[in-house]
Amino acid sequence: MTRRSELDSMRGILLMLMAMTHLPMGLTRFANQPLGFVSAAEGFVFLSAFLVGSIYTPLMLERGIGFVRARIWKRTRLLYGYHLALLLFAFTIIAGIAHFGHSQALRNFLAPLFHSPGWASISAPLLLYQPPLMDILPMYIVFLGLTPLLLQFAARRGWRLLLIVSALIWIAAQLQVGRGLYDLLAAGGYPLPPNAWSSFDWFAWQVLWIVGLWLGSPAVRSVSAAPESVISPSRGIRRSTYVLIAAIGAAALLLCARHHIGGYTAGLDLNGPLASKWHLGPLRLANFALLGLIAHRLLLPLLHWLRIEALELLGRSSLQVFAAHIPVCILADGLLLGTTSVTVPLQGVLLALMLGVMLLVAWKADAPRREARARRQHANKHADRHAVAPRVSMSRPVSAMQD
């Protein structure tokens, strides 16, 4: 797959929005769901699934599911290692600052650990305890680990059944099936509170991953699935100016509702069932679909034309950058949130520090790519210098050649 610079830039933008949302600064209210009932997290999960589908589906068709399974599970283990490293940082450095520094904010951040250290230490590696800001990566790990099974099923049976099951699971999530599972564990003696689990309802958010895989995997349509069982993504969206205008108009109305522009929207609750971020409410899904269409038609072509190298750099190493920004946000939130000392200059320093850390991690993670590109360029130059000149035909006499 040829790397698409605009998708890397889009992931870079989403990473910056998430970082600004997590920092204790005035920009948070502008970075957190600025365009309606959609946050950067939805875009990050969906776009990641889209790229996984577009990269690994051709590999599956060419080299088999075994090769793809090994590649994806290797990446899953790497991400799980990142998560364990973050847990180790939280349970040692953050917990130490909270205890010896008497930081109530950091104690609240790790409240289940201080309340039940044994259970928290066992549950965290099993993904049953996820401190705040550290709950997107576990969800990503589980979704990525299941992806080979999903791609294999889609290759054999088509995407229709997977999409239907995904929609049914999302509906069950709106009916609080996740809370029901927690109640069963609690009845069996699990002592940690409900908020010790992920803030994100995985039963709801899986729909973004499944749809992202589907839209990124059009080649699956050609594999042993009956024609009537195949849904083509290209049939679902009419790329007409009228559809784009209608999408912009509907998104503008939801934007007004999000920011309570107009008295008729004043009662809409961001945490209500319609717009809940954690349960991915129906209004939020509709808003995401509208913004996704607009971004596909307008924003991605603009990013492809601009070619902003810093954004592309962040996007190429998005998971490493995401993991690296979490400790900075935890320390900033725990030490500064709720104080009166977060002045505008300090906010600027925090933002510059965060961007510096993110770019440094991205640059280090991108080193193998730069080295590979340098080797290719060196090999091409070496081949050009030692290229064999075309042989001269000896069918003519020497005298004729000299003429």
Q: What is the pLDDT of residues 193-228, one digit of tens each?
A: 888 888 899 999 999 999 999 999 874 444 334 433
Q: How confident is the model at residue 105 (pLDDT cuts 50, 70, 90)?
A: confident
What does the pLDDT average to over 106-119? 92
Tens of pLDDT, residue by residue over 307-325, are 999 999 999 999 999 999 9
At 382, give phi and psi (nearest 5°).
-65, -40
Q: How far apart are CA 353 and CA 92, in angstroms?
A: 23
Q: Which helix (H) or strand (E) holds 44?
A: helix 40-63
Q: Examine the pLDDT at 50 and tell me if it is beyond 60.
A: yes
Percent of the chain with pLDDT over 90: 56
Q: Which residues lie closer than 8 Å to 123 by C-beta, 6 or more apart?
A: 129, 192, 196
Write the DSSP assignment of 46-85 as a string of letters.
HHHHHHHHHHHHHHHHHH-HHHHHHHHHHHHHHHHHHHHH
Instruction: With beta carbons less than 8 A apart as the criterion, state whether 13 and 306 touch.
Output: no
Sequence-ordered strand ranges (E) for 116-172: none
- At 390 the pLDDT is 52
Q: Examine the pLDDT at 301 and tell me if it is beyond 80.
A: yes
Q: How far apart are CA 51 and CA 152, in angstroms?
A: 17
Q: Mean pLDDT for the chain?
A: 85
Q: How confident is the model at residue 126 (pLDDT cuts 50, 70, 90)?
A: very high
Q: Examine the pLDDT at 232 and tell me if it is beyond 50.
A: no
Q: How far apart are CA 228 and CA 171, in angstroms?
A: 25
Q: How far apart are CA 368 and CA 359, in angstroms?
A: 16
Q: How confident is the model at residue 251 (pLDDT cuts 50, 70, 90)?
A: very high
- At 169 the pLDDT is 96
Tokens representing 124? 């965290």
Q: Examine the pLDDT at 133 and tell me if it is beyond 50.
A: yes
Q: How confident is the model at residue 349 (pLDDT cuts 50, 70, 90)?
A: confident
CB atoms within 10 A of CB 277: 21
More confident position, 266 or 370? 370
